[in-house]
Amino acid sequence: MPPRPHFLVLTFPFQGHIAPALRLARRLLAAASPDALVTFSTTEAAHARMFPAKQPDGGAAAADEDGGRLEFIPFSDGTAAGYVRSDPNAFNDYVASFHAAGPRSVAAIADALAARGRPVTCVVYTLLLPWAAAVARDRGVPSALYWIQPAAVFSIYHHYFHGHVGAVVAEHCHDPSFVVEFPGLPPQTIGDLPSFLTDSTDPSDMLHSAYITIRDLIDTLDGEGPKATVLVNTCQEMEVGALAAMGAYDVLPVGPVLPSGDESGIFKPEDDAEYMEWLDAKPANSVVYVSFGSLASMGREQLEELLLGLEESGRPYLCVIRKDVKVALAEEEAEMHGRVKNGVVVEWCDQVQVLSHAAVGCFVTHCGWNSVLESVAIGVPMVCVPRISDQRMNAQLVVHEWRVGVRAQVDGGGVLRAAEVRRCVDEVMGNSEAAAELRQMAGKWKGIVAEATEKGGSSDRNLMAFVDGARSDF
């Protein structure tokens, strides 16, 4: 008897990686045959934060769902506490440990699963794990990269690391207005390229390891034959040109991959009763929702300007200020809450639930890809405040390709000022023709995404094709 289809889904231990990977894991379970298995694996520290109630002794016990068909088993990153921000080189040191310990630990997990009668038949991995393909290859099973950023960003990386305009980008990296061109994309300024290509190429940069890892990832894909498989968390209709420029690989847009129910993660939402009841009392399309994601830090000056701008907008707002940000600004917390007159501040929330509420009319976002996809799929226009990595490119797509948002400008010190917050919120939520067009386009793209992800849609067909292909490959 052939083995049951068994997908091992591996991801880096950041919330922005865990969320789309876990969503795909559940989609794979639903799309594959009724006896299919999925094992989801991230690092021990992240796993412990995902399932604290299941680990009273602080250990890394496995959890499972759906009668054991979806199992959670952590791998080692060579550290006890995972990534901890401590000094400027902390991330680079962590990634070195991650790449050294991760392959050995994942290989041991795959072997242990086989010994239990649950052999892995396909490995799916996210973008900072180039070594996962070798673990799969050593065990004679296929692998697929799950690209959790837009196809446009993948296309830029692919062409850059194959010698396209690399020298030009390096020469003009300090000129954000300089224009470069990549196949399948409209002309881009240096300032809108992924920050790892403009800010992190120097070995002394605090995120240099991300640049090196993505370079290694492209090399890994090039070594897969006959063509590496790349699943992309986008849909065909959203990125036609960029997807066409990825012809070197077997590319399958399978997104947006959205939550299918209760979602585990390393951040736990507050009790939603209070903020959802607050939203229930607000008129339709009246509330500004603000969240800058799971990683972005925020200094006192930025927090003051943000809250001032939201108050001056005169609109009710729901603002996420993470617990670690509050701790870092402990002396100002009481003062901060004193400024909040017209809104509610929470440490974390169920973002999809909030965006889906009829009262929410605008999303002020850092433009992480998960947040962008959720907003597009739900039909909420955005104010874009991108910072690093793919976020600047994501903002370009939001503002210029899909026309469902506006770009906020920060000052020379990188601070989003109160007047700019107010201006952008008014531009999105006001009564002008431009605001009406943004809302109209948001509704249009909501419909396009719904059609792509429903049964028989383009993304659904691609996911089914991947599942069928993985089964036949093994």
10-residue averages of pLDDT along the chain (474 residues): 87 95 93 88 94 57 72 96 86 96 98 95 96 97 97 96 91 93 93 95 95 97 92 97 91 92 64 86 97 80 92 95 70 62 89 96 97 97 96 96 97 94 97 96 98 96 92 68
- What's residue 61's pLDDT? 46
- What's residue 288's pLDDT? 98
CB 315 within 8 A of CB 421: no
Q: Quick check: is 17 catalytic?
A: yes
Residue 39 pairs in a beta bridge with 8, 71
CA distance 126 to 472: 22
- What's residue 391's pLDDT? 96
CA distance 203 to 96: 13
- What's residue 268's pLDDT? 67
Residues 6+ apart with CB under 8 A from 302: 415, 416
* Tokens read off for 456: 């028989």
Residue entry with tokens 């993985």: 470
Helix axes of 208-223 and 90-115: crossing angle, nearest 10 degrees: 40
CA distances from residue 299 to 104, 306, 415 in whole angstroms, order as listed? 39, 11, 9
Residues 6+ apart with CB under 8 A from 186: 241, 400
Strand order, beta sheet including 405-407: 343-346, 317-320, 287-291, 360-365, 382-384, 405-407
CA distances from residue 106 to 24, 44, 123, 409 in whole angstroms, order as listed? 19, 12, 11, 43
Bridging pattern class, strands 6-10 and 122-125? parallel
Closest CA to 80 of 100, 68, 66, 94: 94
Residue 72 pairs in a beta bridge with 40, 63
Strand order, beta sheet including 143-147: 63-65, 70-72, 37-41, 6-10, 122-125, 143-147, 229-232, 250-253
Q: Does residue 287 sit in helix, strand or coil? A: strand
From 17, 47, 158, 366, active-site residue:
17
Handedness of CA 38, 140, 211, 367 (dihedral sign): negative
Bridging pattern class, strands 188-189 and 179-180? antiparallel
Bridging pattern class, strands 405-407 and 343-346? unpaired
Instruction: Report the predicted TM-score, pTM, of the whole model to 2 decimal places.
Output: 0.93
Reported as half-sphere exposure (CB side, CA atoms, 13 A), residue 101 has a value of 18
Residue entry with tokens 């759906």: 66
Residue 291 pairs in a beta bridge with 365
Residue entry with tokens 């069928």: 468
Closest CA to 21 of 112, 118, 125: 125
- What's residue 31's pLDDT? 85
Number of neighbouring beta carbons within 10 Å of residue 75: 24
